[in-house]
Amino acid sequence: MKLLSFRFEGRTLFGPKVKKEEAVWDVKSIAEAFGEKDFPSTIIEGIAGGLEFVEKVRKLAEQARNSENPEQFKYAFTEIEWLAPVPRTPKNILCVGRNYAEHAAEMGAETPPEKLMIFTKSPTSIAADEQNLLAHADLTDSLDYEGELAVVIGKKGSKIPKQLAYDHVFGYTIANDVTARDVQYGHKQFFLGKSLNGTCPMGPYIVTKDEIPNPHQLSIATKVNDEVRQNGNTADMIFKIDELIAEISKYVMLEPGDVILTGTPAGVGKGLNPPKFLKAGDTVKISIEGIGTLVNRFV
């Protein structure tokens, strides 16, 4: 199932993509119409419901599809304002650095990392698919892109055993870990350079984990103004998703709605010769097999 968050007539809503249509079901309205009690009021409440929530949404969509007037329960994509699938995470977005060997090399590492590199981005950096993003020319002249597979946590846990890690995954989305490189290195800490407003666009959907049985066989590509800059595969991750969840949860309690960015393949702007950073007017498109394409233009 492809789930999205959106705004319609001032209301913040969520629902599944309508099959074979560029539209979304308003499952909250469907739940009200068909007497479904205790239906989640937010996407994070739904995520916490796991597969039971997914099945409930499927049944509601089927009821709407078979009703006398299904059109009243769905909106065309052109009618809605897209939001990030998780519009606001419970805490900072968790990010993995240098998780692809070739990217580690282009960033100056002589050998691939032996231990996880973890940093965070502020939840205020979250942005949506098709949203125009600031180039922040007043703060940086080294704005970079990083196309990444993002894991959405669905089940709370601490010190999660590696063999149980996927039980805590709700689904997957696409993220762009936009980074002000000069700020990142100037502060000797990643947080400010990673947390400028709008520097964590995500979307367009969360794809539930049942539709992506192996997240380590997905092509991932980033285009800047239709020039392919990154062309990798999640099979090349140094630390796999179960390892990430097990290690991070040793130190940080994971909660429904938390998002883990799993690292980026080679081809970032800083790694090119000469470097190619983002500027106003650039469009970045990140595509991941089985999920879709995240598109943002910088202004």
Q: pLDDT tens for residues 241-269?
A: 999 999 999 999 999 999 999 999 999 99
- Is 202 in the same domain as 256? yes
- Do 132 and 18 fall within a single domain? no
Do 78 and 37 share a domain, yes or no? yes
The count of structural domains within the chain is: 2
Domain stops at, among 51, 82, 113: 82
144-172: per-residue pLDDT in tens? 999 999 999 999 999 999 999 999 999 99
Is residue 102 located within the same domain as residue 69? no
C-alpha–C-alpha distance, residues 35 and 63, integer Å: 12
Q: Which residue has the tokens 């598109």?
A: 295
For the chain, the distance separating the N- and C-terminal CA atoms, rounded to the nearest angstrom, is 33
Final residue of a structural domain among 28, 50, 82: 82
- Predicted TM-score (pTM) above 0.75: yes
Helix, strand, coil abundance in the chain, percent, nearest 5:
25, 35, 40
- pLDDT at position 188: 86
Both 78 and 94 in a single domain?
Answer: no
Residue 166 shares a structural domain with residue 132: yes
Dist CA 286 CA 162 (whole Å): 29
- Residue 110 pLDDT > 90, yes or no? no
Structure tokens at 294: 């995240």
Based on the fold, state whether residues 175 and 193 are members of the same structural domain: yes
pLDDT digits (tens, 9 = 90+) for 177-204: 999 999 999 998 899 999 999 999 999 9
Reported confidence tier of residue 128, pLDDT bands at 50, 70, 90 = very high
Write out the residue range of the structural domain in which residue 30 sits: 2-82
Q: Are residues 76 and 92 in the same domain?
A: no
Last residue of a domain, one of 58, 82, 106: 82
* Whole-number CA gyration radius for the chain: 19
Nearest CA-CA partner of 294 in 181, 107, 111, 145: 145
